[in-house]
Amino acid sequence: MEKTKIVIANWKMCPVSIEGAKELFSAVQRTCSPKISAEVVVAPPFVYLTELVRLARSFGRGKNLRLGAQDCFWEQAGAYTGEVSPEILKTLGATHVLIGHSERRRYLKETDEMAQKKLAAALRIGIIPILCVGEDKSVRRKGLASAKQFVKKQLLTALRSVSQSGTRHELLVAYEPVWAISSVSGGKSDTPEEAVAMILWIKQLLGAHPFRLATRVLYGGSVNMKNAAGFMELEAIDGALVGDASLRAQEFCVIVKIASSFS
């Protein structure tokens, strides 16, 4: 497993203007100097990708900074109004894509089977998937064993079509307990001890299956500059998926520096 921590910024449906997006991204660029060892991936709304890729290329340094997308469709092209394929994302310059985020599962009724098809499509085209898994409050109330079984189903269904031979692919898994996400919990994160227990179990589960994958497992759930060190200092946690805090340039840059200090 790589020691370098990775921080994913999920901007969701923000900012509301290209000017705001460029300003926020420029602040992240300034932080991602050669002195920063952590990897950073910014996932803005689709419509900002082209402009932000151009900014990234013109900046001329910060090779640890990449751009990703917040979703993709499972077909490469065709009559799928409103969708964006992995091939289009790759053409735009995206290197990563979020798949199965809890908000898409919640609001758009995305299923484990849909996540499976999207993940397979991303791997085929050479984009690194960031597979999001995690239980909601109703599952967690039943205990850790129920939460593990819920996450196990999400993982194994999504990875069902991954080849057991041939090309070795890179995969990021983001464990995001839904009950600890800012928009649901009001900012109450999981504890580092509970998060690492689940992440170690996810790694054990993945290690027991012959997937041709190089996998890192991140924590996502109300990560901010106050609690980031508690998660990043744990060797088993390979990084963080950051939501609301990634929209506050100063705070996100602090998180990146914290991740770098443990890389």
CA pair distance 162, 214, nearest whole angstrom: 12
Q: Which of 87, 110, 135, 176 is catalytic?
A: 176
Do 248 and 205 touch, CB atoms closer than 8 A?
A: no
Is 176 catalytic? The answer is: yes
Is 39 catalytic? The answer is: no
Provide φ and ψ at 112, rounded to 5°: -60, -35
Q: Which residue has the tokens 């090779």?
A: 63
Q: Which of 39, 87, 96, 101 is catalytic?
A: 101
| Residue 251: burial class (beta carbons within 10 Å; 0-12, 13-18, 19+) | middle
Catalytic residue numbers read 101, 176
